[in-house]
Structure 1
């Protein structure tokens, strides 16, 4: 529906630009419908994507929608073993894969593979519109959990459409407007960028991978008006602007949204000083809520920066107020709603909220509330402040990292008897990995040796920034490691330093 409306009203308007390639909205629809015919003929039950940003992204999203099967973008930064484990869970599927990632995929029954270029350029075929149930699954996103095994979060058509029509005005973008998309396609922000831009009929300028100078060049060359970044990206953009020998000007940039992690107060303040013409928006959301549920608006940013009242100025570190499409409550451990300024668990309710997993089913309460497992509080005026995550997932630069997967690697070292990984504050990434390690009696291992092991088996983002050796780890009476205590120990070490 979203693409049909855009193609009917603004078919000749450019929809996506990436690396010299471009498609209009009419072309995206044509290619998506041709690809949908291929999907129907293949008899698969899922359409998976393993590739970086590009024109294939909107074509794949809408092709799956036309075919009435779930779209499943995969994290191309995972290891070969992790990628193939996820593919096993979605058979039978058609995998659209970029050339650089094909070698990562094992051949298997019930898995058809096609290159991204071949998928985008599927041959002409007669497409017939078929009814797609609004309650059917539109997107399946694998999201990391504390156990290390990714959960399959389900978003239904009605969830996504509720979010888009509740937050975006159809055709609101001017013909010259352009949004710079750098978030990866396997992130909910990447999916919502395609859907919201399509409904607004805005040109999407895609970068395959983020790099600050390339981001600035694209923003200048493509006359970008809108963008979304995670805090780490914004920090690097600011550094690049400040270190450039030439003055960096972004005369057309008028709106920049950020989210996916905690934004350091100093970073957003520097950004607002460097780009006074830009409207900054902080967007807080989750995969299970179809993206944004709370927003700190541009006016909120300006009021906070200009105020002498610390209560108002403090809001620059908040994620704003609930959007008009959802309700937000803070509850204590007994499930009771708490008063303003009191911390607790964040609950969300609204049409866009799915809260559903393939294996687990719906986690919504009988009256529709979803527990985000994020901790925070509301101030007296309804501004939401985040205080961490109950489920212990480490959020590094907008990427969720499971402590379990790192612990499994470290415990494989013959000298390691026990290990627990937790999040520590990091100015650049928001959070980083720290590890408390207990060695086998009489054994030895260096910090560098353990870091090298994780780097070899996983990747650099998983490498503990800090490792401390302990005689034992704290456990409760049920045998569960007390990560909260470990986090406090690391925080104390930082303060002492």
Structure 2
């Protein structure tokens, strides 16, 4: 099934429904379809073999996703936050691309492509162009996304039409949204969550309201102004939204569902959000670029049950990412490749139609049975709830003992003086690696490092106590909230690690 069919179904079912709100621009499903057809004509006339986009998204994202699909080409939204050299290097890896770029980023493109159009030029041409539309082979590549490249050169993940439509149709019922439902989208266009939000909300029949540059006050205003019923945020966004809500005067009565994900969220923040928005159903969504977005979900009922539970095994689920979505299988494997029983930690492997596991220039990394190695350290409990401990690359090896940073972070974040924390390993001549806890204190507090070390020692065995505790004003993160641990390690190496 082609992703083109998702738009055709939406336009045929309800052509006058508002599909996109982006600033002053509003598009019905039929107008979006017409723009995609015209855009496909522009793409076809360019002679390009790929479509790329550098910009903040909004309406441009769904327009270009479907224009490229209807022209039979793959589409790549690029990270506009990269340096000019970084953007040009990624463009150079795409085959003869037509690059669409927001005006403010035009100089970043340089002469990296022979075919460049501004977003305004593309939209104007799409209105005038002879329409083109085709339904590509479902197994052909629809979307190519570059990984963040925080630890190495970015890989180009290839997602087929079948991968993406399998995810959408497996997790969303067609036209299941209420007529007044609206989704507020503020994740970056180059992230899989941005792509999947455009596809799944359109298929569900939900108005998409775009906030291209996140601001917590504006987010709250838009929820009220557009009667937003569902939204997705990353942890840093949720933290800022909670700060605004704590200021008072905002109840967000229209909001029914708030999903968060992209990286691990501290439980004190989740608990506070649940308390501030008792009428909202919270969803923790876990997924990867290679899996076409979400593969596990901790739903609203699970959140409320865990939040109020007295039984430890139920309360602990608030720190999980829930259970797999339909069509997804999970395995936890040990270092020897054997499948581990519930309660044991190992590497997470996933399998399903939505799972790609294919990279440009590398090919598929699925094993012979179709399983994808996520490189995430995880465990499944007896009831099938999935707990993510972090990346295998993040594991600290101190004196021959493997230590997951998340284990310490989960303890430290519960201390009343800790607002945020990341635990990393640094080179140490005695132990191989020393454990350093980098703490962002609660505003106005000057914590005692020894008190924080003792807080960890009370919960974990002594070998897991941080060797040092240092304080910073904030942690370096990606726009989707993932902590840039390599930058932290480099910071510690360059500046030293004073207590």
- For Structure 1 versus Structure 2, the TM-score category normalised by the shorter chain is 0.7 to 0.9
**What residue in structure 2 maps to residue 326 of structure 1?**
328
**Cα displacement (A) at 1:131:** 3.8
**Distance apart, 1:392 and its partner CA:** 4.1
Is the alpha carbon distance of 1:339 and 1:174 closer, same or farther for their aligned partners in structure 2, counting shifts above 3 Å? same
Report the CA distance shift for 1:432/1:71 in structure 2 as closer, same or farther (over 3 A). Answer: farther
**Structure 1 residues 11 and 430 mapped into 2: Cα distance closer, same or farther (>3 Å)?**
farther
Superposition deviation, residue 35 in structure 1 = 0.7
Is the 8 Å Cα contact of residues 54 and 105 (structure 2) preserved in structure 1?
A: yes
2:141 is equivalent to residue 117 of structure 1 = no
Q: In structure 2, do the counterparts of structure 1 residues 285 and 431 end up closer, same or farther at CA, with 3 Å as the change threshold?
A: farther
Say yes or no: does 1:42 pair with 2:46: yes
2:255 corresponds in structure 1 to 253
User: Which residue matches 1:191?
Assistant: 195
Could you give the per-residue CA deviations for residues 40-95 of structure 1, whole angstroms, max 9, x where no partner exists? 11111111010103211110010011011111000011111110100111131111
Q: Quick check: 1:237 aligned with 2:233?
A: no
From 167, 170, 175, the counterpart of 1:163: 167
In 2, the alpha carbon distance for the partners of 1:275 and 1:188 equals 27
Distance 1:181 1:431 in 2: 27
Q: Deviations over 1:159-188 (max 9, x none)?
A: 000000000000011121000000000000
Q: 1:45 to 1:247 in 2, by over 3 A?
A: same
User: Do 2:69 and 2:135's aligned partners in 1 also have CA atoms closer than 8 Å?
Assistant: no
Give 1:53's aligned residue.
57
2:269 is equivalent to residue 267 of structure 1: yes
Rounded to whole Å, the distance in 1 between the matches of 2:134 and 2:493 is: 61
- The answer for the alignment partner of 2:354 in structure 1 is 352
Structure-2 change in CA distance of 1:428 and 1:3 (3 Å): farther
Distance in 2 between the 1:30 and 1:362 partners? 35
Show the 5 A alignment for 1:96-135: 96-108=100-112, 110-121=113-124, 122-135=126-139
Structure 1 partner of 2:225: 221
What is the alpha-carbon distance in structure 1 between the residues aligned to residue 27 and residue 423 of structure 2? Answer: 39
> What CA distance in whole angstroms lies between the structure 1 residues aligned with 2:421 and 2:331?
25
The partner residue of 2:313 within 302, 311, 314 is 311
Cα deviation for residue 117 of structure 1 reads 1.8
Does 2:46 align with 1:22? no
Q: 1:341 aligns with which of 343, 368, 372?
A: 343
Task: Calculate the aligned-residue CA RMSD, in Å.
Answer: 2.7
Distance (whole Å) between structure 2 residues aligned to residue 436 and residue 20 of structure 1? 53
Q: C-alpha displacement at 1:9, in angstroms?
A: 0.6
Q: What's the CA shift for 1:467?
A: 3.8
**Structure 2 contact 286–296 (Cα < 8 Å) conserved:** yes
User: Which of 385, 388, 391 does residue 386 from structure 1 map onto?
Assistant: 388
Alignment of 1:450-465 (within 5 A): 464=488
Cα distance in structure 1, aligned partners of 2:422 and 2:290: 21
Partner SS, residue 278 of structure 2: coil
Q: 1:226 Cα deviation (Å)?
A: 0.3
Q: TM-score, normalised on structure 2?
A: 0.80
The SS at the match of 2:214 is coil
* Alignment match, 1:372: 374
Q: 1:93 and 2:91 equivalent? A: no
Contact 2:284 2:322 in 1 (8 A): yes
Q: 1:310 to 1:171 in 2, by over 3 A?
A: same
Which secondary structure does the structure 1 equivalent of 2:176 belong to?
Answer: coil
Unaligned runs of 5+ in 1: 394-421, 439-450, 471-489
Which blocks of at least 5 consecutive residues in structure 2 are unaligned? 396-404, 430-471, 477-482
Kept in 1: contact 2:350–2:371 (CA 8 A) = yes
Scaled by the length of structure 1, the TM-score of the pair is 0.81
Q: Any conservation in 2 of the 1:51–1:76 contact (CA below 8 Å)?
A: yes
**d(CA) in 2 for partners of 1:49 and 1:364?**
29
**Deviation by residue 1:441-480 (Cα, 9 ceiling, x = unmatched):** xxxxxxxxxx9xxx9xxxx97853884459xxxxxxxxxx
Where does residue 454 of structure 2 map in the other structure?
Answer: none
Q: Which whole-Å CA distance do the structure 1 matches of 2:99 and 2:388 have between them?
A: 37
**1:202 matches 2:206:** yes
Write out the 4+ residue segments of structure 1 that deviate beyond 3 Å after TM superposition.
144-147, 422-438, 460-470
Contact 1:375 1:389 in 2 (8 A): yes
2-side partners of 1:5 and 1:19: how far apart?
26
Counterpart in the other structure of 2:215: 211
Mapped to 1, the partners of 2:52 and 2:421 lie a distance apart of 30
SS in 1 for 2:19: strand
Paired residue for 2:186? 182
Please list, as runs of the form range in 1=range in 2, the aligned pairs for 1:281-292 lying within 5 A after superposition: 281-292=283-294
Kept in 1, the 8 Å contact 2:60–2:119? The answer is: yes
Q: 1:99 to 1:126 in 2, by over 3 A?
A: closer
The worse-fitting range, judged by mean Cα deviation, of 89-98 and 346-355 is 89-98
**Pair 1:151-2:175 in alignment:** no
- 164-173 or 114-123: which moved more? 114-123
Are 2:71 and 2:132, in contact at CA under 8 Å, matched by a contact in 1? no
After superposition, the Cα gap between the structure-2 partners of 1:280 and 1:344, relative to the gap in structure 1 and judged at 3 Å, is same
Q: How many residues align?
A: 425
CA distance in 1, matches of 2:225, 2:489: 37
Name the SS of the counterpart of 1:464 in structure 2: helix
